[in-house]
Amino acid sequence: MVVVTLMDLGLVTFADLYSGITPEERMQNLLEEARLADELGLKVFAVGEHHRPDYLVSSPTTALAAIAATTKQIRLSSAVSVLSSDDPVRVFEQFAHVDLISGGRAEIMAGRGSFIESFALFGYDLRDYDELFAEKLELLLAVRDNERVTWHGKHRAPLENAVVWPRPVQQPLPVWVAVGGSPESVVRAATLGLPLALAIIGGETTRFRPFVDLYRQTWAASGHAGEPQVAINTHAFVAPSRQEADAAFAGPYVAVMNRIGRERGWPPSGKAEYEALASPAGPLALGSPEEVAAKIVSFHELFDPERYLAHIGIGAVSHRDVMRAIELFGTEVAPLVEREVSSQEARSAKAREPLAQFPGFDADDSLTSGAVTSRGNR
């Protein structure tokens, strides 16, 4: 029998702030965007954590709790929780509350953070960047998996048979590891048996395939039960046509990339860089519903992920245009992607079925040269 598992589609937002909008207005817009995503049947809504005036949300769990109270089915995640500069016990407790409010829909996407403002703000040394994340992820998993915890580390006071409360609805509470291209982080996620969220915002998309291969190979070598899970996150924007998408999105997007680029010493971006990102080889899913769906299907063909998360509201894109993009993503892009992915996976699974009838034949060792087979046969 052919079993097909579809790729979940969801949204990421950093709740950008820009001239002409107050934090109060932006918060109400954020809640409206999440409610629409839920009504449209999208699977995930993820909110970033930042500690700077160009982004609204410094406490993802607070925003997610408000969203949880007014949504019914969509899963709610951070994107990311900057675990390195936070207290893992408080992170867990706060997400446990979101899980209770939402009836078991909360997830933690833990990362080291691509912005560093929180380190000085909360008294951490950037020289401990990697060590902080490794130690705090260890503690987060300990409190997730045990109501009483005894733990000793370098960067936090020890715990001695400490009670961590409340406990969430989900057992265990899902924890994803977010990475942007560090092999060490990929190996860490796989070794710990945690799902991987890979953010791709620049360069050619194919350059990131080795990270997914490394993750799945390390997972297999670690002997974990169950299957590895991968999410692909990219920037995206959808409008009725490519021309309309460019009119709403191109200016604000390039402005954001240049602002961040100046902080990090990147060369300026312009039309050529924008077009390269939007090309078939680039990670930006941009244009009409058909064009955006085709790009997402190409991600599925390349990475075979369990999830794709579209980061739509970037920079000073108007709330009206963001809401239209979300509606098109849910009503037109998602069905197109579902139809094509379902067809591809059904064909792949059906083609492999006869091979499994031969005694001693391992379908996973054939045809794929070590690549993971489709989820229809996992």
Q: Per-residue pLDDT for the chain (378 aa), expressed as one digit of tens each?
A: 555 568 999 999 999 999 999 999 999 999 999 999 999 999 999 999 999 999 999 999 999 999 999 999 999 999 999 999 999 999 999 999 999 999 999 999 999 988 999 999 999 999 999 999 999 999 999 999 999 999 999 999 999 999 999 999 999 999 999 999 899 999 999 999 999 999 999 999 999 999 999 999 999 999 998 999 999 999 999 999 999 999 999 999 999 999 999 999 999 999 999 999 999 999 999 999 999 999 999 999 999 999 999 999 999 999 999 999 999 999 999 999 999 999 988 887 777 676 555 555 443 433 333 333 334 333
CB-based burial label for 20 (10 Å; 0-12, 13-18, 19+) = exposed
pLDDT at residue 361 in the model: 43
Element (H, E) at 230: strand 230-238
State which amino acid sits at residue 353. Answer: E
For the chain, how many helices (H) and strands (E)?
12, 12
pLDDT at residue 355 in the model: 55
Alpha-helical (H) ranges within the chain are 23-39, 60-70, 88-102, 117-121, 129-145, 183-192, 209-222, 242-264, 271-278, 289-303, 319-328, 334-352
pLDDT at residue 359 in the model: 53
Which domains, from first to last, does the chain contain? 8-377 (3.20.20.30)
Beta bridge partners of 55: 16
The 8-class DSSP code of residue 7 comes to P
pLDDT at residue 367 in the model: 33
Angle 14-284-295 (CA atoms, 0-180°, nearest 5)? 125
Rounded Cα distance between 15 and 25, Å, is 11
Which two three-digit tokens encode residue 213? 């291969």
State which amino acid sits at residue 196. Answer: L
Q: Are strands 148-151 and 159-163 parallel, antiparallel or unpaired?
A: antiparallel
Residues across the chain: 378
Q: Are strands 307-311 and 8-13 parallel, antiparallel or unpaired?
A: parallel
State which amino acid sits at residue 254. Answer: V
Rounded Cα distance between 163 and 143, Å, is 9
- Taking alpha carbons only, the member of 342, 352, 343 closest to residue 372 is 352
Chain centre distance of CA 268: 26
pLDDT at residue 373 in the model: 35
Report residue 265: phi and psi, to 5°.
Answer: 80, 20
In angstroms, the first-to-last Cα distance of the chain is 13
> Which residues contact residue 131 at a Cβ distance below 8 angstroms, ignoring those fewer than 6 apart?
154, 155
DSSP string, 197-214: EEEE-SS-GGGGHHHHHH
- Taking alpha carbons only, the member of 294, 305, 176, 196 closest to residue 236 is 294
Angle between helices 319-328 and 242-264 in degrees, nearest 10: 120
